[in-house]
Amino acid sequence: MRRFFKAFVYAWNGIVHGVKAERNMKMHVLAAIVVVVAGVLTKLSPVEWFIVMILIGGMFALELMNAAIERVVDLVTSKRHPLAQQAKDLAAGAVFVFAIFSAIIGLLLFVPKWLNFM
């Protein structure tokens, strides 16, 4: 049981390290704060909040995985290798794709509400 709870400590340490050490993670946290404030001001419905929380959680998770992949690649080789670069680029690409679609979904959620407000 003790090992089970230690896993949560390790996971929390990873999240804290990611927020402290990763510039992009800091940007995602800032963006999430802006989106949550905008959601409160816009009075999102429960379903819309569900969508926003999935997108924020997915973005955080992908950014942490991207950082983990970068660390592992750096650990395995210090030389420039095409496969190492591809691994890093693919992980960054996954984050970028999710960010683009999150932004599109955010616009689809927020813009109609803002247009109706005006």
The 10s digit of each residue's pLDDT in 15-56 is 999 999 999 999 999 999 999 999 999 999 999 999 999 999
Q: What percent of the chain has pLDDT over 90?
A: 86
Cα–Cα distance measured from residue 23 to residue 19, given in angstroms and rounded to the nearest whole number: 8
> Which pLDDT score is estimated for 1?
82
Average pLDDT, the chain: 94
Backbone angles phi, psi at 77, to 5 degrees: -145, 140
Question: Which is the catalytic residue, given 22, 48, 63, 70?
Answer: 63
What is the pLDDT confidence band of residue 77, given thresholds at 50, 70 and 90?
A: confident
**Contacts for 35 with CB less than 8 Å, ≥ 6 apart:** 52, 56, 106
Amino acid in position 78? S
Cα–Cα distance measured from residue 101 to residue 81, given in angstroms and rounded to the nearest whole number: 30
Told to judge if 63 belongs to the known catalytic residues of this protein, a careful annotator would answer: yes
> Which pLDDT score is estimated for 52?
98
> Which pLDDT score is estimated for 79?
86
**Contacts for 112 with CB less than 8 Å, ≥ 6 apart:** none
**What would the CATH number be for the domain defined by 2-117?**
1.10.287.3610
